[in-house]
Chain A
């Protein structure tokens, strides 16, 4: 395992593309959008499943936002749109977002190159049938000037419990801005960190190549990983017993609670993850990732056969789900 994997949850690359000969999504007619969706469907072929997004139940749509597969704007859009996903769900393609086509590839751990390669493969599949809006000077034309050029956003979701908090994030963000980078909460700009998770990504998309973007993000990720490692080790040295007690209590609560809010679950999962990073707790981290993803209300609801329409029923179900997950033998390595 690379050192970084202790602190890097997932890597994501998003490519924004528009189609030549069409106005941007917000000015397209319904017929134009239907025709565009059909074209993308034809280009992607059997490798991708077509999801008629507006027809999905609300909880399913919200769950896609919680899992970062679609943007909040995509579900609130009054216009027709569509989602395409490959079999292992590592690549999701939104059609009819702010830009006509947004390709997003997600891989576990710290591997932006793998994410870019997946996104590029999908992009090339589409480019075989569709001409993108491309200008020799500006590069890929996008609805928002902040995405022009490569149209690429490369981001790594990092676990930084001892390095960043809601107060220090703005100062660090200002520092990163000078490098054309940014750090944000789990749900993008202005959002608070959840479970000590932060997204590191590029802000600048023009005048820089795709490989350079990845290189820059990787450098910041490496530097943050080193800082986090130092801070965590220092914490272990200065307060080993208190930290061990805190981590064990967190795991105990996850194993025995009867009701649990998403916020409490995410805080406890963060403490257990810190304990796992420092070898205080022996736990398979992929279960921590799964538990974190399923802690969000709509994603959690999809796991239940019953309608969980109020906080109490959701909190009871969440606690039951986590009890079963953490009581099982397979959690321990």
Chain B
């Protein structure tokens, strides 16, 4: 589903809010979520922030700010959440593997006792043990598959550190980089 603020990007964050005892749900994209986090950090007040977002003003007339009861990150393609994947209630889509990398690792460990592949690699990928065997096609090095993953993981870690150190400008840059990688990686990894 689309972000309910900008109506342009796919929503990846789903909020449930309770304002004066009434519960409302809002779906936001990464960008609008970042704006929201920024506003929250500088105490700009949720009321203003959401009003800027052109949600029905009646939602935010109250002076009492909304209290967040949950934030659910959802796959931008199939809308599955990590909890749903962990429970085995929903089927994965191809993007879930990129979007929920860490959650998927923990589920894989629970199922298989391991999250690391030790079997064969496709014949057209060159590894230390064996040369590539695809005759009619360009060869790939195993490091090519690895390096993309490492870059993603590295940026993710840096983003975590930046947020914990409250370096929000750096975090925004890192988040954009990650988004770029996710886009490139979309259906390719």
| CB–CB A145/B145 < 8 A | no
Segment with Cβ contacts to A, from B24-32, B33-41, B129-137, B167-175 = B129-137
Q: Which residues of A contact B64 (CB under 8 A)?
A: none
**DSSP majority for the A interface?**
loop
Sample of 14 further A-B pairs with CB below 8 A, known A132-B122, A206-B117, A209-B120: A20-B187, A24-B92, A24-B94, A128-B123, A128-B136, A131-B122, A136-B142, A136-B145, A136-B146, A146-B111, A150-B119, A206-B112, A207-B117, A208-B114
A-binding residues in B (CB < 8 A): 77-78, 91-95, 97, 104-105, 107-108, 111-125, 133-137, 142, 145-146, 149, 187-189
Q: Which single member of B92, B115, B134 contacts A207 (CB below 8 Å)? A: B115
Number of A-B contacts (CB under 8 A): 120
Q: Which residues of B contact A127 (CB under 8 A)?
A: 122-124, 133-134
Q: Which residues of B contact A207 (CB under 8 A)?
A: 112-118
Residue with the highest number of chain B CB atoms closer than 10 Å, among A20, A137, A140, A148: A137
| CB–CB B189/A23 < 8 A | no
| CB–CB A149/B91 < 8 A | no
Q: Which single member of A23, A128, A143, A208 contacts B135 (CB below 8 Å)? A: A128
| CB–CB A138/B187 < 8 A | no
Q: Which single member of B77, B94, B97, B122 contacts A138 (CB below 8 Å)? A: B97
Q: Which residues of B contact A174 (CB under 8 A)?
A: none
Per-position binary interface string of chain A over residues 119-134, scored 1 when its CB falls under 8 Å from any chain B CB and 0 otherwise: 0000110011101111
| CB–CB B112/A135 < 8 A | no
| CB–CB A129/B136 < 8 A | yes
Q: Would you call A331 an interface residue if the criterion is a C-beta within 8 Å of the partner chain's C-beta atoms? A: no
On whether A22 and B94 interact (CB within 8 A), knowing A146-B111, A204-B113, the answer reads yes
When C-beta atoms are compared, the residue in chain A nearest to B88 turns out to be: A145
On whether A138 and B118 interact (CB within 8 A), knowing A26-B91, A128-B134, A145-B92, the answer reads no
| CB–CB B92/A143 < 8 A | yes
